[in-house]
Amino acid sequence: MKKKNISELIREQLLIFDGAMGTELYKRHVFTNRSYDEICLSDPKLVMEVHMDYLRAGADVLTSNSYGANRSVLQKFGLADQVEAINSKAVELMRSSIERLSPERPIYLAGSIGPLEPGLQQKMSREEAVQVLVEQAEVLAESGVDFLIFETMPDREAAMQASLAMAKLTQIVPFVLSHALPDGEDLPGILAHRLQPMQNDLPIPFALGLNCGLGPARMLEALEAARKLTELPIIVQPNAGTPRKVENRQLYLCSPEYLSTYAQRYVNLGARGVGGCCGTSPEHISELARSLKRLSQSFSSITVSASAKQEVVTAKETALAERSQLGRKLANGEWIKTVEITPPRGWNTERIVNNAKLCRQHGVDAINIPDGPRAAPRLSALVTALKIQQEAGIEAVLHVCSRDRNYLALQADLLGGAAFGLRNFLFITGDPPKLGGYGYASGVFDTDSIGLVALQKHLNQGVDLGGQQIQPPTAAVIGVGADPNAIDFNREIERLKAKIDAGAEFIITQPVFDIEPFHKFMQVIEDWKVPVIAGVWPLASLRNALFMKNEVPGVLVPDSVVARIEKAQTREEQLACGIQIAREAIEQLRGMVAGVQVSAPLGNVNAALAVME
């Protein structure tokens, strides 16, 4: 199968890189007194086992076992004359692994070039160091890699040497400069120094890499800084946390699920390649591939053929105020109060219906029903919403995400909801499925939240996914989510504008704890004239506050809020403090928004109602 040039492909789709080679060889009882690169010659089957494990995991890019296969590193093992043999064999083993396991899949071969031996590098001139790199790069390029990756570069000088080496190659081959960053405080400053322009006549890498040195959390900070300093695609390969010594072995204890949670944030921040460095395994890469691939391939709009558009006349949409009670309040600019209640883990709906009745009695306008929040298995959100409307006598706002169903099933559910009187929807892309204790679950992601809005807009105009007319049209109120605290704020605003252009009629935000960034968000979208319902979360405890702060994407819990809850002695006092903080947030939000969505923390509806008293 003919492959696209890697420089073009990485701008079109997310690529899953493999993980650590050294860690895997170590786990196979190859200890650190050996040259890991020489194993390509002495035990090639072992290296192929690792490559094939990463292929089975879903990697799009294999990296050669040649990280230390330059003359300066090999000479300490007495192997300085084996540069050509080891590097060419390293590429051959990648190719053989692909032919044996994935001959039909387009897999890209990265030629790994690590830094020179630190002690020797200090004794070399720049010209000598560059020649060492050229020697290795020439062999890898001639052996047929798709690109070269200079990994774990420790400083700006190493990047300069790599660039000079690429200028001297006899053939042109794409390359990546991948930086290792110290786990210090000034990541932006370090990166700014590293990425200062070099000589104008030097070749330019097709991507910037960030690998090694940092675990998943700190790597997110590095990516945030890098995005502001370069327009190149960025490849992110964090370590599996910090190694711990267990029975004289260096082990990395970062779980695959933990890494994939951060990997989603990398992708949301614009990373175009994600993989792993020290300590990461095929299990980590498998979870990355499973969680991210479908998400990265989602598209944002439905397409109705030109011929279908000519044949079908779109219907006039029902006025917003006539679609539902929520629609009426939105249209009239009335203050809106909603409560978010998560569907139960089992099938018994008695408790959630009773909670919804209690909310109705306290003047709540609607119940928000999340669709598999955090990708955890629960009762169908659609069924939960129907039960609430039918038995509790209060409107539901059904969250619909694109994770679990293809386009046909999504349309079927939207039409089914219309048939049973569901009128209010909040469209979201959804979290990638988690491993948990339930085995493997695949994400579908035929589309994203923008595409879902476009689908519902067409249904409201009497046109289905295939361009066929439906009678009567649906009359849904179309809502979307927004994250005022998004790390990539500009991208969040661009996507939110695309949702509005596709037909969204109101916005519900992530929980607001800090008014300042929310105020900035409201100023940016002020001219759109779209009602905003602010998310409010009464923190149930200190543990809940720390979880929201550290583990929930899109939620910014300031240190000052955590400090207030820390002062409370008992769990009851902590909840009372969380309720008070939420009340204060609502007071500050009044006049800025159309209403609030108050979450019931851990199912505690009374806490949500107390916030709105």
Tell whether omega for the bond before 115 is within 30 degrees of 0, i.e. cis.
no
Residue 371 and residue 264 share a domain? no
> Which of 296, 328, 355 marks a domain boundary?
296
In this structure, are 291 and 313 located in the same domain?
no
* CA separation for the pair 54, 287 (Å, rounded): 11
Residue 246: pLDDT over 60: no
Residue 100: pLDDT over 90: yes
Is the pLDDT at 121 greater than 70? The verdict is no
Q: Dmax over Cα atoms in the chain, in whole Å?
A: 83
In terms of domains, do 465 and 418 share one?
yes
What string of DSSP letters covers 66-135?
Answer: -TT-SHHHHGGGT-GGGHHHHHHHHHHHHHHHHHHH-TTS--EEEEEE-PPPHHHHTTS-HHHHHHHHHH
Q: Among 56-70, 264-278, 526-540, where is mean pLDDT lowest? A: 264-278
Residue 129: per-residue pLDDT: 95
Q: Give pLDDT, residue 434.
A: 54
Q: Determine which of 40-54, 262-276, 325-339, 386-400 has the lowest per-residue pLDDT on average.
A: 262-276
* Mean pLDDT in residue range 575-579: 95
pLDDT of residue 199: 77
What are the pLDDT digits (tens) for 311-348? 567 899 999 999 999 999 999 999 999 999 999 999 99
Give me Rg for the CA atoms of the chain: 27
Tell me how far apart the alpha carbons of residues 337 and 495 are, in angstroms, rounded to a whole number: 26
Model pTM?
Answer: 0.69
Q: Are residues 426 and 517 in the same domain?
A: yes
Q: Using 50, 70 and 90 to split pLDDT, how confident is the model at 112?
A: very high
Do residues 365 and 264 both lie within one domain?
A: no
- Does residue 502 lie within any of the structural domains? yes
pLDDT of 552 above 80: no
Q: What percent of the chain has pLDDT over 90?
A: 69
Banded model confidence at residue 252, pLDDT cuts 50, 70, 90: low
Pair (467, 490) in one structural domain? yes
Could you tell me the CATH number of the domain that includes residue 311?
A: 3.20.20.220
Residue 62 identity: L
In the chain, how many domains are there?
Answer: 2
Please tell me the predicted confidence (pLDDT) of residue 407: 85
Residue 1 within any structural domain of the chain:
no
Q: What angle do CA 110, 115, 116 make, to 5 degrees?
A: 130
Q: Do 375 and 393 lie in a common domain?
A: yes
Residue 607 to residue 613: CA distance in whole angstroms? 10
Range of the structural domain that residue 569 is part of: 306-612
Same domain, residue pair 46 and 187: yes
Are 547 and 590 within one domain? yes
Give residue 447's pLDDT: 82
Shared domain check, 351 and 239: no
Confidence band, pLDDT 50/70/90 cuts, at residue 375: low
Q: What is the CATH number of the domain that holds 25?
A: 3.20.20.330
Comparing 255 with 351, the larger pLDDT belongs to 351
Kindly state whether residues 452 and 530 are assigned to the same domain: yes
> 254, 272, 296: which is the final residue of a domain?
296
The residue out of 296, 321, 348 marking a domain boundary is 296
Shared-domain flag, residues 155 and 38:
yes
